[in-house]
Structure formats: C-alpha cells, structure tokens
Amino acid sequence: MAAEIISGRDLAQELRQQMKQKVTELNNQGVFPKLSVILVGDNPASKSYVNGKKKACKETGILSDVIEMNHDTTEANLLQQIEKLNEDPTVHGILVQLPLPEQIREQKVIDTISYTKDVDGFHPINIGRMMTGEDAFLPCTPYGIITMLKSKDISIAGKHAVVVGRSNIVGKPVGQLLLNENATVTYCHSKTKNLAQITKQADILIAAVGKVNAIRAEHIKDGAVVVDVGINRLEDGSLTGDVDFNEAKEKASFITPVPRGVGPMTITMLLENTIKAAKGLENS
C-alpha cells in the first residue's frame, strides 16, 4: 500500500484562514487576542521556533510580544515576569519557551502561569481537566495530531493506538486524547521489551521518540496510520522525524511527513488556544 500523506502545512493554512475571521470578530467587539512569549537564553533552535510562533500570530491577526531574558537570569526573576503577565489584562496567552537553563525548575515555572492563560496546556489544572474531559487548554502537539486525524475522517473509536514515547508534552497527553476519543491505547518507551511486536498491532501509531529512524517497516502493520512527531536536526541542517519515511510510506494507509507535518499544526493549535483564552477559558 502507498500511503496518503497528511500535509500539516496545508491543514494549518486552512485553519489559520478561518481563525483570521474569528480574530476580526473579536476585534470588532474590542478584544485583541495577545500572546506573550518568554524566551530565556539564546538557544538557536528555540529562537527559530519562537520566530515561527511570532510569524504565525501576525498572519492570523493575533498580537504577540516576545520577552527575551538573559541565559543566567534567576528563577525568581522569571517567576516575577510571569506574575506580571498573569496580572496584565491585555495578555491572554503566556508561553515560556522550553527547555529552560538548568538553574530554573521547569515545573515551578509551569505552575506559576495562570491556568487561564496557559495556552501550552501544561499547567496541572489543564492536564487534570483534559483527563476528566472538562473544558481545558489542550496541549498543542497532541491537539494538532487529533485535528489532523479528524481532518481525514480517520476513525479513532475502538482502534488500537500505540504511542511510542512518554514525555509530559507529547507522549502522555496524546495517549490521553486518543483515549478520550475511545481508542484502546498502549504506551511504549525506552524500557519496553519487543517494541516491534507491540507497534505492529497499532492501527494508529504515534512516534514521539526523539530518535532518527526509530520506527521502520518492521514496526508497522499494513494499512496503519503513522504520525511522526519527531523533530531531529541532521548535520546538514535538514529536519527529519522519528520514522523512516521511505519505508513507512509503503506500508501505511496515512502518514504525516517531517517537516510540514505535525510541527505547523502545533503552532496552529497554539493560535487556537490563544483565541480561546481571549474569549475566556470558561466562556469559549
């Protein structure tokens, strides 16, 4: 079977077009959705991601503000900056770009962001609400993945979804969202024995490993839907995922590419969450 490629870029473009309209409507009511991004240090990858977010906001008519802080800024300093944004009524969404320098405790930072402005969906209240199925900001990458599957009318209920990876930002929450959609979910990780034996049972396979070619033909059932969440930078500067694309596309029914797959959808869901924040978490 030759897989259909799900273009995250095309879907992102379509959704951003619709969002423009929503932003205009809010503007007409005197609401100007705004995202504040805090960037600590000068990691080039982080800078480039933050630029991508800024550009996407601009395209959609969302206001954005990037606050750059020195690499050796203290945790107290950063928390103070977050408190300021929590109290600023013109700021609807707050995103602190991860990873952070080692003197700063990431969890402490996430806990400090008001859950009503937590457009990353990383705050414990939003995670808890996601688990119980209440209204919440959903984490952008998992939310983007579900949106991609739905855009192709891929049914999730009753399907066996296998998630490879268990990070707090991708693996764990994407499994939860798939469960909320009534999939049967299995998590695999670095301690999993016989990885291929398990992934071969997947109707929907989510690769969020962080390793080039971690998923190859031998891991994939014929006709499976393969979602590649990896973003690995090769020495020549090019980006590649966790899936051996050339092998996988011969077995899968649908596959997401890297680049132009999950990445652009992550940013799109961030925009969606910022609009939701501008409406107010409880009224959207």
Ligand X SMILES: Nc1nc(=O)c2c([nH]1)NC[C@@H]1CN(c3ccc(C(=O)N[C@@H](CCC(=O)O)C(=O)O)cc3)C=[N+]21
Active site residues: 53, 97, 120
Question: Would you call 172 exposed, middle or buried from its count of C-beta atoms within 10 A (0-12, 13-18, 19+)?
Answer: middle
Binding mask 210-239 for ligand X (x = CB under 6 A): ---------------------x-------x
* 138 DSSP 8-state letter: P
Tokens 């995202």, located at residue:
35
Binding mask 39-68 for ligand X (x = CB under 6 A): ---------xx--x----------------
| CA-only gyration radius of the chain, Å | 19
By CB under 6 A, name the one of 47, 211, 260, 279 that touches ligand X. 260
Helix residue ranges per DSSP H, 152-206: 171-180, 195-199
CB of 262 to ligand X, least distance (A): 7
Q: What residues form the annotated binding site for NADP(+)?
A: 165-167, 231
By CB under 6 A, name the one of 78, 95, 243, 255 that touches ligand X. 95
CB of 222 to ligand X, least distance (A): 27
CB of 45 to ligand X, least distance (A): 8
Task: Candidates 19-27, 93-101, 170-178, 217-225: pick the segment binding ligand X (CB under 6 A).
Answer: 93-101
Q: Which of residues 150-209 bind ligand X (CB under 6 A)?
A: none
Asked if 252 and 3 count as a contact pair (C-beta separation under 8 A), the reply is: yes
- Taking each helix axis from N to C terminus, what angle separates 262-279 and 44-60, rounded to the nearest 10 degrees? 60
* 114 DSSP 8-state letter: -
The number of angstroms, rounded, from the C-alpha of 29 to the middle of its chain's C-alpha atoms is: 29
| 182 residue type, one letter | N
Q: Which residues bind ligand X (CB under 6 A)?
A: 48-49, 52, 95-98, 120, 140, 231, 239, 258-260, 263-264, 266-267
